[in-house]
Structure 1
Amino acid sequence: MSFDLAQRLTEILLALAFLQQSAEHLAGPQAARAMFLTRAALCLPLLAGIQSDWILLALSIHSIAVLHRYNGPYNGGSDRMGLLVLYCLTLSHWLPTGYASHAAFGYLGVQVILSYFISGIVKLANPAWRNGHALRDVFAFSAYPVAENLRALQGHPRLLQSASWGVIAFEVAFPLSLASTPALLIALPLATAFHLANAVLFGLNRFVWFWLAAYPSILWLQPQVLAAL
């Protein structure tokens, strides 16, 4: 994947992610509604590819106001990933063409890979994840909107333990997908399916779009890594 194409795909996916996030505030307080309507308005030209460099700079400045309003990324990991994508993409447009812009965009890909790997290592070190109790507690006690019929899964410890190890193995092994293009083309749909499952089961819908927005950086980064080896 070329650098320009990866940048453009990231712009489109990030705009869609921010539009989804902004829509959640349409029924909120007036101040929040105005703030996120501004973000949504900025996303429309980004989606169309109009003056992307200036629009991204405006979105970056706007994000500072959002951070101040909510005393940080108010929705945790998904908002942090959204800001990471935004800032790396903005830098890749405004830094000098070549090594500097490529480094900013490649940094995004590295951080996405590390987000899976570190999450897997943390789970591997946690006995509650290794024995399946962490997933059991999610289905049994979580405030996430899990359907009542899915709560019955807490009574299947072997299934939950197998699922736990499946998630751990996938996350820890994710960096190996850089070894070949076919491996990466398998890993990214699996990662997407993982986020979609989290959205359906637990309502973590923001993770889908923000992580998808970061995937073009990995598709661009992978051949650069192979070429450097």
Structure 2
Amino acid sequence: MYYYEYLYVILLLFVIGQVFTTSELLFLHLKGEYSSNGFFSWKIIRLDINTLTGDSRIGNILDNLLDARGFVKLVFMKLACLIILVAAAPYSYLFTFASATLVLCMLLIQFRSMYGGDGSDQMSLILAVSIFFGLSMVSSPVIQKYCFYFIGLQSCLAYSTSGIAKILSKKWRSGDAVYEIFNTGSYGNKTISNLLKNKKYINLFLCWAVIIMEIIFPLCLIGPIYVSFAILLWGFTFHLLNVIVMGLNSFFWAFTATYPALIFIMLDIKNLI
């Protein structure tokens, strides 16, 4: 029951986030972005597949599954699986089937949207795989414990590598990155941009605060309890602000869904010590 409670919280956070993400995919489909003339046209992606594999037969096999009509069916199948995961009893045949099908759907959707993916998509897939192994019929206490460590260590790796990538960037080190991000078309915010304009030291502080906190994020697993929860609180606040200011809701749900696993690892390590 101890393992189950942590896993079920991860499941609920994951499902909520995926419902939002999948709804956004349906919205893009209605806008025609996945049509033959859209930004994510299957005809274009299929050409890349033919080039990479050197075999057009693979594209032929995927045509009916990943063209515009097949894609929307795949998205609705994913939504159905998400609903079943919440409604079905864990460790049951139905839950096992739905969780396995969900992983397959997510793989195909990420493959279909290979040009629009980000770190939240990768983390969501990690969560989906872990939910299958942790709450399906193949699960066991040992497997569940490995799932927590798999999720938690992947989360720490994502944060720290992001921080290392930023510290290698001149834009982030100089403090220009934050201001320039808020001036982009995709993630910009005119109000915040105006507030940060000509505020060199504030921009520098914001850039380095993100760099440092991302790099030291893995300390939440081994630091004193108050330090660990302070780091998690920073992460939660960071992602929440990104939702409010930049609209990055997929990152909020994908990464906060890893926090129960981080707390489990943190407490497990402290018990061992």
Say whether residues 1:8 and 2:47 are aligned partners.
no
The 5-angstrom pairing of residues 79-228 of structure 1 reads 79-93=121-135, 95=138, 97-140=140-183, 142-152=184-194, 153-178=196-221, 179-228=223-272
Does structure 1 retain, via aligned residues, the 8 Å contact 2:14–2:127? yes
Q: What CA distance in whole angstroms lies between the structure 1 residues aligned with 2:6 and 2:177? A: 36
Does structure 2 retain, via aligned residues, the 8 Å contact 1:16–1:47? no
Runs of 4+ in 1 over 4 A off after TM superposition: none
Aligned to 1:47: 86
The RMSD of aligned alpha carbons is 2.2
1:32-87 Cα offsets, whole Å, 9 max, x none, are: 433222211111121235343332112112223323433x4732111111101111
Secondary structure of the corresponding residue to residue 25 of structure 2:
coil
Q: What CA distance in whole angstroms lies between the structure 2 residues aligned with 1:130 and 1:143? A: 23
Secondary structure of the corresponding residue to residue 197 of structure 2:
helix
Q: Structure 1 residue 210: deviation in Å? A: 0.9
Query: Structure 1 residues 220 and 214, CA, compared in 2 at 3 Å: closer, same or farther?
Result: same
Q: What CA distance in whole angstroms lies between the structure 2 residues aligned with 1:154 and 1:120? A: 24
Does structure 1 retain, via aligned residues, the 8 Å contact 2:3–2:144? no
Identity of aligned residues (%): 22
Secondary structure of the corresponding residue to residue 149 of structure 1:
helix
For 1:203, the aligned partner's letter is G
Q: Which moved more, 1:185-194 or 1:2-11?
A: 185-194
Q: What CA distance in whole angstroms lies between the structure 2 residues aligned with 1:165 and 1:206? A: 24
Q: Structure 1 residue 96: deviation in Å? A: 5.1
Q: What CA distance in whole angstroms lies between the structure 2 residues aligned with 1:73 and 1:213? A: 24
Q: What CA distance in whole angstroms lies between the structure 2 residues aligned with 1:85 and 1:137? A: 32
* Higher-helix-fraction structure: 1
Structure 2 stretches of 5 or more lacking a match? Answer: 31-67
Q: What CA distance in whole angstroms lies between the structure 1 residues aligned with 2:118 and 2:26? A: 20
Secondary structure of the corresponding residue to residue 221 of structure 1:
helix
Does structure 2 retain, via aligned residues, the 8 Å contact 1:139–1:150? yes
Structure 1 stretches of 5 or more lacking a match? Answer: none
Secondary structure of the corresponding residue to residue 220 of structure 2:
helix
Q: Which moved more, 1:180-189 or 1:57-66?
A: 180-189
What is the aligned length? 227
Does structure 2 retain, via aligned residues, the 8 Å contact 1:25–1:36? yes
Query: Structure 1 residues 146 and 96, CA, compared in 2 at 3 Å: closer, same or farther?
Result: closer
For 2:73, the aligned partner's letter is A
Which one of 67, 72, 78 corresponds to residue 33 of structure 1? 72
Higher relative contact order (CA 8 A, sep 6+): 1
Q: What CA distance in whole angstroms lies between the structure 1 residues aligned with 2:88 and 2:265? A: 22
What's the TM-score once normalised by structure 1's chain length? 0.88
Q: What CA distance in whole angstroms lies between the structure 1 residues aligned with 2:147 and 2:102? A: 17
What's the TM-score once normalised by structure 2's chain length? 0.75
1:178-213 Cα offsets, whole Å, 9 max, x none, are: 223333322222211101111222221211111121
For 1:108, the aligned partner's letter is I
Does structure 2 retain, via aligned residues, the 8 Å contact 1:139–1:154? no
Q: Structure 1 residue 100: deviation in Å? A: 3.3
Q: What CA distance in whole angstroms lies between the structure 2 residues aligned with 1:11 and 1:45? A: 12
